[in-house]
Amino acid sequence: RLFSVLRFESVIHEFDPYFNYRTTRFLAEKGFYDFHNWFDEMAWYPLGRIIGGTIYPGLMVTAAAFYNVLHYLNLTIDIRNMCVFLAPLFSSFTAIVTYHLTKELSNSGAGLVAAAFMAIVPGYISRSVAGSYDNEGIAIFCMLITYTLWIKSVKTGSIFWSVLCSLAYFYMVSSWGGYVFLINLIPIHVLACIVTGRFSHRIYVAYTTVYCVGTILSMQISFVGFQPVQTSEHMGALGVFGICQIVSFVAYLKSKLSAAHYAIFWQALYYLNLWVYNINVQYIFTISIAGKIAPWTGRFYSLLDPSYAKNNIPIIASVSEHQPTTWSSFYFDLQMLVFLFPENGISNFFCDLFQFQYFNHLKMFLTIPPYQVRLMLVLAPVMAVLAGIGVNHILTTFMKNLDTVVVKDKKGLESAISSFIFSTHTPMTNICINYPQISTGVVLLVSVLLSLFASHSVWVTSEAYSSPSIVLSARGGDGGRIIFDDFREAYYWLRQNTPENAKVMSWWDYGYQITAMANRTILVDNNTWNNTHISRVGQAMASTEDKAYEIMRELDVDYVLVIFGGLTGYSSDDINKFLWMVRIGGSTDRGAHIKESDYYTPTGEFRVDAEGSPVLQNCMMYKMCYYRFGQVYTEQSKPTGYDRVRNAEIGNKDFELDVLDEAYTTEHWIVRIYKVKDLDNRG
């Protein structure tokens, strides 16, 4: 998990983690109450954002707590390092918890194997590398510890463990929106126990406690608020809670009444139930009409029906995290666990039945359809646990025979093996036991598989999950690694050379980074809550200079920042994102004059060269990206102004900017910053 620190340095990755980093810094400096009441005027200028009420604070609180404890012990660690290393730290906790979880489900040997799997499964590493300071990093730990404590409380039926479980659940709620998984999974487990007749006092005590305490605790998070009693996602848990009461009440009466009385009661209950059911249905119907229960959110629908997003919500469908999973990404993220985990279903057949084993199955069932890429994260622990149990089972059974019998001579063994493999008529009782070589073979095979899994995981981590994306790297002509540090260069320039109250306009992808690293006010950021505001920025980027100037004056913009990859070949730059700016810009009333078709050639292509649409070649984004680029040679045997991402010579080379001054361009031209000119001195 520390590859990226070794290879680059201790930096925060990606985009969202920068926001988390900034808020953590605030929390560590100002304390919790200031953090809770924080109104952030540096984002979403001029609207601002209420930070305290719109985030899951678990991550920041955890990091700040560690930070304070360490400082109390006079270990003066930097807050940035705390943030960078928090996810790897928590993944080691996760491994320990996995051990305990699997131990509860099976035995300690399985626990050990599962913990080892959990430590290296790439699906989990992808979200817990150093620098990936995001909610998921600690959420998986919370999820597993809640599972563990839940199983513990079901096993013991004690209120103590149940309360601990609800505390773990509270921690989970405070750190990730994915807690909805838990609040649906546990009730389904209880329901399955009721249906299969395994409901007991222990489950009753455990579930009642966990539901009541957990729900009340979860409502303390201001971002969650009254959702647990108002939204459809949480209604299943409430329903199961009610069923629990009814079932245990009936069981109680049964134990107190004679058989004849119970029969009468049962009849009465039947009618009563009908009546109650009727009332319930009416009640639910009324309140959902009245809008008291929020309907399922779009994301939840897309979990149930995978084609929902595609047909109805393009913005959800377009996020690449929500893409469906191909078989290859399963293999990539789980490798051998893909084959190992189903066997547990069979091997359980031989075990005695315990209630909690149903839980295991359920978990498997529920997390099976991760047809969205990001859900792989939830699947990975389950796979690790199940595979751990399976591998442990194989190893323990075959290990036993490794040195029970000493083989007499080599020849005998060979003939035995050949008869074992090739012939069917030799009676072959106890060959495995008589010839430990077969056991050796199996054990060897499993060890080879395990070591392959380990090397696969290391390779995946090193190649795919360890690039911080704020520092870019590439292979040079001589095979050496070249580092592009343009982003930080530009942000640092902004920090040092602009007035403190300057407002920077950029596309929203870079909002969090600019506020965190340059400490300047921005218009839009990655928390895309206000579509019209983003649209306004999109309109400025897509308009001609004079139109854009009006918008920029209106929004008080001082600097404009664009990302340009034409010189280095960095392909996720603003020109490639430009069509989204046009689409989003044109999606509101004020941007009705921006039409996507204007930015295409008559044949419907998006081109930057001389054949490209003139509207495109005169818009702000084009001019800001390609200003002075027409005089630069980028590749041998190509004319000046050759864009290496689009592989084309740009169409509009000679132009001057009227309303902007070029303020700064980084070493590799990846970030370009422009200053918006003041109004003319006309008097």
Partner 1 sequence: ISALLVVFATVCSCKTKQEILEDKVKQLTEWSNRRTVIQMNTNKFSTYVKTKPRNYSTIVMFTALDSKRGCSVCREANDEFTILANSYRFSPAYSNSLFFVMVDFDDGSEVFQSLGLNSAPAFMHFPAKGKRKGADTYDIQRLGFHADNLAKWMSERTEVVVRIFRPPNYTGTVVLVLLFSLAGGLLYVRRNSLEFFYNKTFWSIVSIFIVLAMTSGQMWNHIRGPPYYHRNPQNGAIHYIHGSSQGQLVAETHIIMLIHGAIVAGFIMLNEAHHPKADISKRRDSILYSSDQMFYSRYGLATPKEQIPYKLHFYGYWRTCLGCFLSQLTHVHFPTKVPRLSLQLPS
Which 339-368 positions form the footprint of partner 1 (CB under 8 A)? 339-343, 345-350, 353, 361, 364-365, 368
Question: Considering beta carbons, is residue 264 or 445 the nearer one to partner 1?
Answer: 445
SS3 label, residue 568: coil
Label the pairing between strands 521-522 and 660-665.
Answer: unpaired
Cα–Cα distance for residue pair 121/458, rounded to 1 Å: 9
Query: Which residue among 74, 76, 255, 424 contacts partner 1 (CB under 8 A)?
Result: 424
Cα–Cα distance for residue pair 59/87, rounded to 1 Å: 10
List phi, psi (to 5°) of 630: -65, -10
Binding status of residue 420 toward partner 1 by CB under 8 A: yes
Using the contact rule CB under 8 A, the part of the chain among 67-75, 137-145, 164-172, 437-445 near partner 1 is 437-445
Query: Which residue among 390, 586, 591, 612 contacts partner 1 (CB under 8 A)?
Result: 390
Q: Which of residues 181-220 bind partner 1 (CB under 8 A)?
A: 196
| Cβ-Cβ contacts under 8 Å for 279 (sequence gap 6 or more) | none
Binding status of residue 320 toward partner 1 by CB under 8 A: yes
Return the closest-CA partner of residue 390 out of 364, 420, 366. Answer: 364
Using the contact rule CB under 8 A, the part of the chain among 234-242, 258-266, 338-346, 622-630 near partner 1 is 338-346
Binding status of residue 531 toward partner 1 by CB under 8 A: no
Binding status of residue 538 toward partner 1 by CB under 8 A: no
Q: Which of residues 156-185 bind partner 1 (CB under 8 A)?
A: none
Binding status of residue 371 toward partner 1 by CB under 8 A: yes
**Distance in Å from the first CA to the final CA of the chain:** 62
Q: Write the DSSP assignment of 402-441 as a string of letters.
A: TTSS----HHHHHHHHHHHHH-SSS--TTHHHH-HHHHHH
CB atoms within 10 A of CB 385: 31
Return the closest-CA partner of residue 4 out of 542, 483, 522, 413. Answer: 483
Write down the least CB distance from residue 59 to partner 1, Å: 17
Query: Which residue among 509, 545, 556, 609 contacts partner 1 (CB under 8 A)?
Result: 509
Give me the numbers of helices (H) and strands (E) for the chain, helices first please.
Answer: 32, 11
Binding status of residue 405 toward partner 1 by CB under 8 A: no
* Contact by Cβ (8 Å): 161, 43: no
The tokens of 538 are what?
A: 């999109």
Q: Using alpha carbons only, what angle is made at residue 132 by residues 130 and 135, rounded to the nearest 5 degrees?
A: 125
Cα–Cα distance for residue pair 419/439, rounded to 1 Å: 16
* Contact by Cβ (8 Å): 558, 611: no
Binding status of residue 255 toward partner 1 by CB under 8 A: no
Write down the least CB distance from residue 138 to partner 1, Å: 18
Q: Which of residues 556-595 bind partner 1 (CB under 8 A)?
A: 568-572, 576-577, 580
Q: Which of residues 12-71 bind partner 1 (CB under 8 A)?
A: 14-16
SS3 label, residue 481: strand
Question: Considering beta carbons, is residue 241 or 580 the nearer one to partner 1?
Answer: 580
Cα–Cα distance for residue pair 544/542, rounded to 1 Å: 7
Binding status of residue 636 toward partner 1 by CB under 8 A: yes
Query: Which residue among 291, 479, 499, 604 contacts partner 1 (CB under 8 A)?
Result: 604
From residue 446 to residue 485, what is the string marking binding to partner 1 with x (rule CB under 8 A)? --xx--x--xx--xx--xxx-x-x--xxxxxx----x-x-
Write down the least CB distance from residue 340 to partner 1, Å: 6
Query: Which residue among 71, 299, 310, 488 contacts partner 1 (CB under 8 A)?
Result: 310
Write down the least CB distance from residue 400 to partner 1, Å: 8
Binding status of residue 632 toward partner 1 by CB under 8 A: no
Question: Considering beta carbons, is residue 21 or 171 the nearer one to partner 1?
Answer: 21
Write down the least CB distance from residue 611 to partner 1, Å: 15
Cα-based distances in Å from 428 to 399, 412, 422: 20, 14, 12
Question: Considering beta carbons, is residue 3 or 484 the nearer one to partner 1?
Answer: 484
SS3 label, residue 473: strand
